Amino acid sequence: MEKQEKFQFSSPITGHVIDLSHVSDPVFSQRMMGDGFAIDPTEGQVVAPFDGIVEVLFPTGHAIGLSNGSGLNVLIHVGLNTFELKGKGFTIHTTQGASVKKGDLLLEIDIDAIKASGKTCITPIIFTENQEIHCHKIGCDVTRNEDGLVSFL
């Protein structure tokens, strides 16, 4: 019998999956905030990877934290140092405290505008409650809402 996953998690972004250790910011690459992976987006929609609550939403739109009420807590941090853009290139489609369903649109990002500002769009996705994960898609392309991306250890 196959092991039942404790949590369901799907890809919040379409793009290329990167091992977290290859992210140029040591806060993420050294897993100081938690385990995870990163996605280099190829399209500009960020969706909810599970049913949950928007716990944290930065006014700049560069980062959003979600929880499911059962111990799954995730930070989606769009780009590196993108807070410096003060919201340019980001359109927010949710609010802090909102209930969201898997696949709901959270953010839109203008990849070209962010890159033109000299920033990368590589998006660390961090499991913040000391959850260890195994990402099955490192080096692969994924589409938003795609299941089977991670296993929880």
Which residues belong to the active site? Answer: 77
The answer to whether the beta carbons of residues 75 and 63 sit under 8 Å apart is yes
Residue with tokens 């250890």: 153
SS (H, E, C) 7-60: CCCCCCCCEEEEEHHHCCCHHHHCCCCCEEEEEEECCCEEECCCCEEEEEECCC
Which is nearest to 5 in space by CA: 54, 50, 53?
Answer: 50
